[in-house]
Amino acid sequence: MQNSQQKTTSLLVKTPNQAQEDQIIDGVDMKWTVKDLKAHLSRVYPSKP
């Protein structure tokens, strides 16, 4: 039997010079690769890091 619960976490993204406010990114899948995370951030983060 598979575990049907998807495991996610939240990340706090901070900018070094505080040009943007800190952003909390919810729903980050624990199985994502760095590439997946960067793609998600480019969609949801205002300055597209």
Distance CA 41, CA 25 (A): 8
Q: Does residue 25 fall inside a structural domain? A: yes
Q: Does residue 28 fall inside a structural domain? A: yes
The pTM score is 0.61
Q: How many domains does the chain have?
A: 1
Give me the pLDDT at residue 23, please: 83
Q: Does residue 49 fall inside a structural domain? A: no
Q: Does residue 2 fall inside a structural domain? A: no
Structure tokens at 20: 């943007």
Residue 41 burial (C-beta neighbours within 10 Å; 0-12, 13-18, 19+): middle
Task: Give tens-digit pLDDT for 6-47.
Answer: 799 999 988 777 777 888 889 899 999 999 988 988 888 766
Range of the domain at 25: 8-44
Backbone angles phi, psi at 14, to 5 degrees: -115, 145
Give me the pLDDT at residue 49, please: 59
Give me the pLDDT at residue 48, please: 61
Residue from 4, 18, 11, 7 nearest 37 by CA: 11
